[in-house]
């Protein structure tokens, strides 16, 4: 059943902007991105929005809907009351380019700061052998579509621009965890997690997990295990003594 919905869409650029009111038709089965496209087609042809797959897999259409970091293409209109005014804004944490499009290059800079997979020196390429049970933890993190909603919602950088220098954010701490848990990665990533990527800034309030459209348990399966590994290394003299006495592999 079609109805007319009230929308407030943020329009502007880095200099200025405001919420603009629209009344727009909504049809059964549509998602918020459909409505944004209808706005472009009927009322605001110059409205900027980044999108690609419309299937929740490309991570392009991240924005905030009624203040919640969400994918526009995965937010069904049926989740809102027909008389509700729906507010669509760009992600708060990143510089805005125009309208709903933000500059997410912060994330690519942070990605480059994480050293790539480092294979062991004594195993030639093509000879890597891993048990499924050893790689399955890392595989959960590979579901990430890099929508950067976790980075957007994390209060460490959302509310504190200054922390962007020293905090990689949940997505890239998860990347560090993915490699640290990888059975063939030879690099030692624990000290860097704390000292270079800012793991200590995370106060495990789980907002990254709450907004993840892929349902990755970022906090429980990546961030807290990394915090425990840092505690092993830096704050646990019993583990340190055990490693020294029994000459065991720290990992």
Q: Which of residues 162-221 bind other proteins (CB under 8 A)?
A: 162-163, 180-183, 198, 200-207, 210-211, 220
Residue of 40, 43, 118, 243 that binds other proteins (CB under 8 A):
43
- Left, alpha or beta for 11 (phi > 0: left; psi -120 to 50: alpha)? beta
Question: 172: closest CA among 141, 216, 136?
Answer: 141
Q: With CB under 8 A as the contact rule, which of the stretches 71-79, 107-115, 118-126, 233-241 interacts with other proteins? A: 233-241
Among 110, 171, 189, 229, binds other proteins (CB under 8 A): 229
Smallest gap from Cβ 106 to other proteins, in A, equals 9
Q: How large is the C-alpha radius of gyration of the chain?
A: 22
Q: Is 16 in the site for other proteins (CB under 8 A)?
A: yes
The answer to whether 119 contacts other proteins (rule: CB under 8 A) is: no
Binding mask 44-73 for other proteins (x = CB under 8 A): x-------------------x-xxxx----
C-alpha–C-alpha distance, residues 18 and 11, integer Å = 6
Q: Are strands 85-89 and 62-65 parallel, antiparallel or unpaired?
A: antiparallel
Looking only at the bridges linking them, the beta strands covering 3-12 and 85-89 are: parallel
Q: Which is nearer to other proteins, 53 or 84 (CB)?
A: 84
Q: Which is nearer to other proteins, 4 or 53 (CB)?
A: 4
- Is residue 153 within 8 Å of 210, Cβ to Cβ? yes
Judged by CB under 8 A, which of 33, 49, 96, 173 binds other proteins?
A: 96
Stretch that binds other proteins, among 28-36, 54-62, 84-92, 112-120 (CB under 8 A): 84-92
List the one residue from 48, 57, 74, 87 that touches other proteins (CB under 8 A).
87
Using left for φ > 0, alpha for ψ between -120 and 50, and beta otherwise, residue 77 falls in alpha
Q: Which residue in 92, 118, 192, 214 binds other proteins (CB under 8 A)?
A: 92
Confirm or reject binding of residue 5 to other proteins (CB under 8 A).
no
DSSP string, 105-163: HHHHHHHHTSPPP---TTS-TT-----HHHHHHHHHHTT-----HHHHH-HHHHS-GGG
CA distance 121 to 217: 32
- Residue 209 in contact with residue 216, Cβ under 8 Å? yes
Q: What is the DSSP letter of 192?
A: H
By CB under 8 A, residue 90 contacts other proteins: yes
Neighbours of 128 (CB within 10 A): 11
Residue 30 touching other proteins (CB under 8 A): no
Among 31, 104, 145, 156, binds other proteins (CB under 8 A): 156
22 binds other proteins (CB under 8 A): yes
């Amino acid at each position: 059943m079609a109805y007319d919905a009230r929308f407030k869409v943020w329009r502007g650029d880095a200099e200025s902007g405001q919420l603009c009111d629209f009344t727009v038709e909504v049809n059964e089965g549509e998602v918020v991105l459909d409505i944004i496209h209808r706005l472009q087609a009927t009322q605001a042809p110059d409205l900027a929005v980044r999108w690609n797959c419309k299937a929740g897999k490309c991570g392009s259409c991240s924005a905030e809907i009624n203040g919640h970091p969400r994918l526009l293409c995965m937010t069904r209109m049926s989740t809102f009351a027909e008389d509700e005014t729906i507010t669509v804004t760009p992600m708060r944490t990143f510089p805005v380019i125009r309208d709903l499009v933000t500059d997410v290059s912060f994330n690519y800079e942070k990605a480059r700061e994480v050293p790539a997979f480092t294979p062991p020196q004594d195993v030639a390429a093509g000879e890597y052998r891993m048990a499924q049970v050893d790689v399955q933890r890392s595989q959960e993190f590979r579901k990430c579509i890099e929508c950067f909603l976790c980075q957007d919602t994390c209060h460490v950088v959302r509310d504190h621009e200054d922390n962007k220098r020293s905090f990689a954010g949940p997505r890239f701490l998860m990347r560090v965890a993915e490699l640290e848990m990888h059975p063939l990665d030879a690099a030692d990533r624990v000290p860097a997690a704390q000292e270079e990527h800012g793991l200590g800034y995370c106060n495990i309030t789980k907002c990254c997990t709450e907004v993840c459209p892929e349902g990755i348990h970022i906090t429980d399966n990546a961030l807290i295990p990394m915090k425990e590994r840092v505690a092993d290394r830096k704050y646990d003299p019993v583990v340190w003594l055990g490693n020294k006495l029994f000459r065991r592999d720290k990992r």
